[in-house]
Amino acid sequence: MPSEPLLAGKVAVVTGAGKGIGRAIAEALAAEGAEVAILDRDRDGAAAAAAAIEAGGGRALAVGCDVSEPAQVTAAVERTVADCGGIDVLVNNAGITNTSTLEELTLELWSETIAVDLTGVYLMTQAALPELERRRGKIVNVASQLALRGAPKMSHYCAAKAGVLGFTRACAVELIGRGVHVNAIAPGPTETENLFGVPAETLDAIREELPIKRFATVEEIAPAVVLLASGNGDYFVGATLNVSGGHVM
């Protein structure tokens, strides 16, 4: 007799789910029975991801949302609750990646990166918390192995993602007594659009650093989120799963 899907009857919100890792996470959660609200500031991308899930027999809602804008975050959470009945899982995945030397790093680029990659996590968590507490839910924050290793020309990104890990641990301690589990994943180099435009010799050097000698596919990142979002993750509190091919151990 087939087992029940891990997330049957649950509602999951995934930010930045119009493409890349976020879309793979949304599809994996849907495959385990969750109804998924796909949030992305690219409304067309969100709609396409939701349509693909529904075409495969799942349930999905597309919501345009820039996670750095408080009013949009509030509206997206309210829309999800109204349409889906609540929120059981929040995956804070939305982020931007760009490079700059420290000397050339502008305050505008620093502020934009922090706003999306870190402040967006805070805004979404705060807005969804009443529902997550009511339903004893799960929060999974998508950080990066660069929060733990650092990288040249990425001080702003590394700072934002390190902030995500600190925020994860603090919220985990604060919220577990209220029934909300908070954890994170730290993906390594992954085959997404973020690699477009990176010189081939740079990619080769990064690949050579990896013990596994290859980049991840987005489908290899998603199962860690399914674990933390499901009942199988009930004993994880403030953990960071390094899905990095050995880049971080």
Alpha carbons within 13 angstroms on the beta-carbon side of residue 206 total: 23
Which secondary structure element, helix H or strand E, spans residue 91, and what is its range? Answer: strand 89-92
Measured between alpha carbons, how far is 186 from 115 in angstroms, rounded to an integer?
A: 19
Q: Which residues of 129-161 are buried (b: 16+ CB within 10 A; e: fewer)?
A: bebbeebebbbbbbbbbbbbeeeeebbbbbbbb
Instruction: State the catalytic residue, choosing from 157, 163, 188, 243.
Output: 157
Nearest to 20 by CA among 105, 181, 144, 137: 144
157 is catalytic: yes
3-state secondary structure 191-249: CCHHHCCCCHHHHHHHHHHCCCCCCECHHHHHHHHHHHHCHHHCCCCCCEECCCCCCCC
Which residue type is seen at 163?
Answer: G
Contact 40, 22 (CB under 8 A): yes
Contact 14, 58 (CB under 8 A): no
Q: What are 78's two structure tokens?
A: 């309210």
Angle at which helix 20-31 crosses helix 218-229, to 10 degrees, equals: 50
Measured between alpha carbons, how far is 121 from 159 in angstroms, rounded to an integer?
A: 14
Active site residues: 157
